[in-house]
A and B are shown apart, each in its own frame.
Chain A
């Protein structure tokens, strides 16, 4: 992501033909307005999730119904306050949410906040790995496709891009597992590390939860290699999903900028075709990628749920699937709300970034 930030359209004067009249505090005002828009977004999602999850009844009946005798069930419901009016519960829930109290899971009786912190790190690690794969694969291939437009490589790459997002992560994950783990035996089938290493890494003093970081910090090179081997397949499965989108986005935008006058001017001055693609047309074409990257965070997090289940990667997505099966809707609600906050905050930063780079975005 840093490379994108460092690429403002310095040589792309043609890109900014409209000088909009902005008052002195244009950017500051935009950031402020945009910042306050985060809250209604989160509030809407929290409200939606809360009421939708309650339409089928209270969480305790959902999780424990049939396993407890009715009178005990009533007791638990009354103790948790689920028998009160729904709006009272809603406002109480909001109040507790603000103080960071997400409640306690029903199936394994843990504080939801603690559960989120433990598994959030694993999801973060997976998402970062996947984003790296997506950028490393998507951007160069997109440049190639744009450069060789309507020729063989372009056709092949476009089909590759479509295949990338036509394949659900759990199917590509299954294929990877079959090929690289079962048949070739190169890489581990599932998990984040072998049990021994996992134990060693979690036993560290104040672990970050991001295993490769912990392994480097403790100087445990064997564990690092093990963690890396486990990370390859999940990162590939999730990363390729997004790589296809980056590929076609780079391709479309580079084709767009390649038709611009300043590129034509460069061509007439004798600038090499390679340089035209990689220097002149490439940088302005990166701006839409930053915006789309905001949307991709949502896609990656959604995909992470499926990837983690496929590879038994013990992160938020894996836990979400587990809690869904257990009908533990308190935990599910906690995970969904956390993801909503992450998405809203990332979109805020992405919008600010886009506004910093391209003044036309501000309003």
Chain B
């Protein structure tokens, strides 16, 4: 990410705006293997999103449908014929549930990541800018939650929100909020660190001298600069959100099967099938999940590598292009990645 231009806003040497959009600028910067990984990730992610959007058109049956005009579906039928990927022990159509599961996953990701970015960014900005006891308290709390296994935090939240059992939107919301609590500390840390760094920058001081209010400085000067690393954390967290949702579902703490299709729940059901050699109930939802997470992670990782001057490419690394802040971003990304469970 070229960042120097923010400090010298006289002329814009960076090309048209659309070439500076997060993913597009990274695509232009990438070469060879890295471009391949980025493209593969984008293709997988696009496939995931399209499946989610067009789920009603793609899926032949509803996610909780167990019969049609020809009568009830058979249970645990092998793939083939009317049921492309077979049926589960509860007579659900595996293919339909995998497709609908993509929709559930997208909804949860969007709700979870939006809420956590919103709260995390505000807390991080305020905490980093104001400092003092508020900052210290928030840091200790955030660190405590951050250090804890995300899945357990999500479980505790799920119990608090719904007593563990929930339906349709309630379930999606409960899962999303549970995941939110895991993510807020991450956004908080990154934004706070950036804010503290930016607070000392000359342009913030000049804004103060001119007489800008604290809110205006936070909103205009700090916010815009501090949020540059967000696309990266977003892609990494999206994949973590999927895994956390699936983990909750797997432990029986997610969304009820009649309310929405959820991959984690399907895998939990499939576990009992494995001993009798029934593979299709588990392999298909599992593969869908792995490919989705793989796609998102490939995109995130490519952006991370392209942001980090040490990793971008040998020649560019030697010239030290990228500035000091891109290393901060890379560091945050590494930390975020280390959290993926």
Query: A residues bordering B, Cβ < 8 Å?
Result: 37, 40-41, 44-45, 48-49, 52-53, 55-57, 62, 150, 154-155, 158-159, 162-163, 165-168, 170-171, 174-175, 177-178, 181-183, 189, 241, 245, 248-249, 252, 255-256, 259, 292, 295-296, 298-299, 301-303, 305-306, 309-310, 320-321, 324-325, 327, 329, 332, 336, 339-340, 343-344, 347
| CA–CA, A305 and B37, complex, Å | 32
Q: Nearest residue in A to B281 (C-beta to C-beta)? A: A174
| CA–CA, A55 and B239, complex, Å | 29
The answer on a CB contact under 8 Å between A336 and B290 is no
| CA–CA, A53 and B155, complex, Å | 10
Q: With contacts A178-B274, A303-B341, A329-B159 known, is A41 near B140, CB below 8 A?
A: yes
The answer on a CB contact under 8 Å between B159 and A302 is no
Most buried by A among B33, B243, B274, B275: B274
Which of B4-12, B14-22, B292-300 lines the interface with chain A?
B292-300
Q: How large is the interface on B (under 10, 10 to 19, 20 to 34, 35 or more residues)?
A: 35 or more
* Dominant secondary structure of chain B at its interface with chain A: helix
The answer on a CB contact under 8 Å between B151 and A305 is yes
Query: Least Cβ distance of B265 to chain A in Å?
Result: 11
| CA–CA, A309 and B268, complex, Å | 9
The answer on a CB contact under 8 Å between B250 and A306 is yes
The answer on a CB contact under 8 Å between B160 and A53 is yes
Which residues from A are CB-within-8-Å of B334?
Answer: 249, 252
B317 in the interface (beta carbon within 8 A): yes
The answer on a CB contact under 8 Å between A325 and B252 is yes
The answer on a CB contact under 8 Å between B147 and A171 is no
Q: With contacts A174-B270, A295-B338 known, is A306 near B251, CB below 8 A?
A: yes
Q: Nearest residue in A to B153 (C-beta to C-beta)? A: A48
Q: With contacts A302-B149, A309-B251 known, is A52 near B160, CB below 8 A?
A: yes
B311 in the interface (beta carbon within 8 A): yes
- Contacting residues of chain B (263-280) with chain A, CB-CB under 8 angstroms: 264, 267-268, 270-271, 274-275, 277, 279
Q: With contacts A41-B147, A295-B339, A344-B147 known, is A55 near B252, CB below 8 A?
A: no
Which residues from B are CB-within-8-Å of A321?
Answer: 251-252
The answer on a CB contact under 8 Å between B282 and A182 is no
Q: With contacts A182-B277, A306-B247, A309-B250 known, is A174 near B271, CB below 8 A?
A: yes
Q: Nearest residue in B to A329 (C-beta to C-beta)? A: B159
| CA–CA, A40 and B274, complex, Å | 45
B310 in the interface (beta carbon within 8 A): yes
Which residues from B are CB-within-8-Å of A53?
Answer: 156, 159-160
Sample of 12 more A-B contacts, CB < 8 Å, known A320-B155, A336-B152: A41-B147, A166-B239, A166-B293, A167-B293, A168-B247, A170-B246, A178-B279, A249-B338, A259-B310, A299-B338, A303-B341, A327-B163
Which residues from A are CB-within-8-Å of B293?
Answer: 166-167
Which residues from A are CB-within-8-Å of B162?
Answer: 56
Most buried by B among A37, A241, A252, A259: A252
The answer on a CB contact under 8 Å between A182 and B251 is no
The answer on a CB contact under 8 Å between B155 and A259 is no
A–B Cβ pairs within 8 angstroms, 9 of them: A45-B144, A48-B156, A166-B294, A168-B286, A170-B264, A177-B275, A249-B334, A302-B341, A336-B156
